[in-house]
Structure 1
Amino acid sequence: MSRTVKSLWGAAALVLVAGCSSGGAAEGDRATPSSPPATTSPPASSAPAPSSAPAARVTVAGTLTEDLESPWGVAVLPDGDLLVASRDERTVTRVDGRSGAKTPLGEVPGVVPGGEGGLLGLAVRDGFVYAYLTAESDNRIIRMRYGGGPGDRLGPPEAILTGIPKGNVHNGGRIAFGPDGMLYAGTGERGETGLAQDRRSLGGKILRMTPAGDPAPGNPFPGSPVYSYGHRNVQGLAWDADGRLWAAEFGQTTWDELNLIEPGRNYGWPEAEGRAGDPAFVDPVAQWRTSDASPSGIAYADGAIWMAGLRGERLWRVPLSGATTAGEPRAFLTEEYGRLRTVVAAGDGRLWVTTSETDTRGTPQDGDDRILRLDVR
């Protein structure tokens, strides 16, 4: 399918229906054959039965901004403007949420890009910009003062958590504040699979900490920031309307996962990839063949989890229903805009979605990378 890009706000809106074809550039260390659609039931040879609920509609209203270099993390400021991290350029750029005008805020010291590492996730809280980054010896989380006024720049970095294992692959990198006011981080096991099961290591985990970087009160392992373990490479974190934490995770050769996170639980890697049916592990709520997803950022909006796919080059919608289950996943934007890295809820039925064609694994075209504005109905 050709990639058609609508880059002007005044362009005719493009209404898309769900699609499930596979394809796209490889992500990480995997190589898989063509595959069936996503499933929220145990793997089978046929696709899930169609949902009786009305199909969602996604309208691409236009492009907010373009010509971004290796965009990764996105954080929304109180006034609706966006902060965007460049993984490889090590910079943070402010993007006006209405006009798309870009204002460079400066380069973040100490970032050492390489492979899947660099300047990754961003979050904002109480006058600070938080960043997850790859340094010389490790992955770490820092915070920088930022007033947010005209002409303001980022303050000097203060490391609040160090010692997260780094590698050429599987660096994790997503950070977000939860409804409890604590800072959460998704990490990877840097390709050293045993780290995921080692609760003394910060690799292959979801971490929970105070805004100052200390282990959060009530964590399942006293004195540790580890919140859940047995993860391969977590790059998506989001909370639903009931305050439940969801996480997207890269599989290896078979299944990518969407997990409902429970404190202290083991999510199976490397003993399990996808559903194992082993009571020692928590099975994913939904899973995808790796060629259909390679999930990165996720967001909650319109009663569903929205998941950006890199290798899958599509945006997945997973409607939530019941206490721990999900409805049938549906795909949008399939192979229309290339690799999708981050999705952010913008309120009022809108999403921001960033492409990721300039990350060395895509095939960038004029205007890449860009932030798309989506209307959801």
Structure 2
Amino acid sequence: MSRTVKSLWAAAALALVAGAGCSSGGDAPGGRQAPSSPPSASPPSASSPPPAGVTVVGTLTEGLESPWGVAVLPDGDLLVASRDERTVTRVDGRSGAKTPLGEVPGVVPGGEGGLLGLAVRDGFVYAYLTAESDNRIVRMRYGGGAGDRLGPPEEVLTGIPKGDVHNGGRIAFGPDGMLYAGTGERGETGLAQDRESLGGKILRMTPEGDPAPGNPFPGSVVYSYGHRNVQGLAWDADRRLWAAEFGQTTWDELNLVRPGGNYGWPEVEGRGDDPDFVDPVAQWRTSEASPSGIAYAGGAIWMAGLRGERLWRIPLSGAERSGDPEAFLVEEYGRLRTVLAAGDGRLWLTTSETDTRGTPEPGDDKILRLEVG
């Protein structure tokens, strides 16, 4: 299917519409998907204010191979991880010029595993990667100057379960200075409810990989559990942690993360109205989302959709939604993997057509410049 431009209001009408579930969860193969037929939507009246939206104002760079994690350096340049090539590339935040920084040793790509999330802190580049025996987090010295290369990896946390699917992989430093990681249950659903396992969890640790002070389970890096496959992490203006999660065949989720919270998988997918589990703030049919990265900007969470091939906006007011989710860029750029806040109402957005599950077109994959407003 070609990347047909959809109108804003037709896209918005797709939000939270119950459609046919997909045959496999989350980061599902199958190329471009036809969207479910939306109900008719009336345009706003002349007196209604226009909805907040997003505009693609340019392409920063293109020709990236299986881009996954992206981190912003202090000077505004980007670091991009290639899941399958096992490399990190520096991208100039103004010109888009690419500088290879080298291959990360010990990465074993396969299925949904490989070189995944990136984060930057205090002269280190942190990476979540799939190794021979597990998923793990490492860090590498990086000076950031012209000609600098990544130092040898140092182990931060090991023993995260790996599999062909559901490896999680997103890492980010929170406003508290602690390192957070979203993990998957590698297709073994029981791991999500096992608090002794690091699979199907959100983890919180010091930059050295120790359990962070104040964690809900003493002596453990586990922060929340009962997750299927977490790949999106972001904090709002009130320092609340939000996470996007792949569903199986019915519902993808956006969750407000509570320390020690049980998010229900595999007992519940989507809202369960069970007091033992935390319900999502928003949910989508898997054909409309399959969310990977999320970011907070302009009073909303922005969520990149892989199978859904769209960018979702979820307006927030404190800990609650303040309106219905809206969809943008529907099927215009294909699969969308990572979205990052760039400051001043701007976003970076990466496509994900070269990850073996898309249909690449000339120039794929790209980093797009977006403006919110």
- Are 2:168 and 2:231, in contact at CA under 8 Å, matched by a contact in 1? yes
Instruction: Tell me which residue corresponds to 2:244.
Output: 248
Letter in 1 for 2:180: Y
Distance 2:203 2:37 in 1: 33
Instruction: Tell me which residue corresponds to 2:171.
Output: 175
Shift of 1:25: 11
Instruction: Tell me which residue corresponds to 1:19.
Output: 11
After TM superposition, the structure 1 = structure 2 runs for residues 85-164 of structure 1, keeping only pairs within 5 Å, are 85-164=81-160
After TM superposition, the structure 1 = structure 2 runs for residues 262-341 of structure 1, keeping only pairs within 5 Å, are 262-341=258-337
Letter in 2 for 1:181: G
Shift of 1:267: 0.1
Q: 1:199–1:53: structure 2 CA closer, same or farther, 3 Å change rule?
A: farther
Could you tell which deviates more after superposition, 63-72 or 319-328? 319-328
Letter in 2 for 1:94: R
Shift of 1:46: 10
Distance 2:192 2:357 in 1: 26
Q: 1:140–1:327: structure 2 CA closer, same or farther, 3 Å change rule?
A: same
**What TM-score do the two structures reach when normalised by structure 2?**
0.91
Distance 1:143 1:28 in 2: 26
- Are 1:18 and 1:330, in contact at CA under 8 Å, matched by a contact in 2? no
Letter in 1 for 2:2: S
Counterpart secondary structure, 1:124: strand
Counterpart secondary structure, 1:19: helix
Letter in 1 for 2:11: G
| Deviation string, structure 1 residues 310-364 (Cα, Å, up to 9, x no partner) | 0000000000024333421000000000000000000111100000000000000
Unaligned runs of 5+ in 2: none
Instruction: Tell me which residue corresponds to 1:42.
Output: none
Distance 1:108 1:86 in 2: 10
Shift of 1:29: 5.6
Q: 1:262–1:143: structure 2 CA closer, same or farther, 3 Å change rule?
A: same
Could you tell which deviates more after superposition, 15-24 or 179-188? 15-24
Distance 2:97 2:4 in 1: 23
Distance 1:76 1:235 in 2: 18
Counterpart secondary structure, 2:11: coil
Q: State which of 205, 208, 218 in structure 2 corresponds to 1:209.
A: 205
Distance 1:342 1:366 in 2: 20
Shift of 1:376: 1.0
Shift of 1:34: 6.2
**What TM-score do the two structures reach when normalised by structure 1?**
0.90
Q: 1:123–1:17: structure 2 CA closer, same or farther, 3 Å change rule?
A: farther
- Are 2:171 and 2:182, in contact at CA under 8 Å, matched by a contact in 1? yes
Shift of 1:16: 5.6
Letter in 2 for 1:90: R
Q: State which of 37, 56, 77 in structure 2 corresponds to 1:60.
A: 56
- Are 2:4 and 2:331, in contact at CA under 8 Å, matched by a contact in 1? no
Shift of 1:35: 4.8
Distance 2:200 2:158 in 1: 15
Could you tell which deviates more after superposition, 319-328 or 227-236? 319-328
Distance 2:343 2:264 in 1: 34
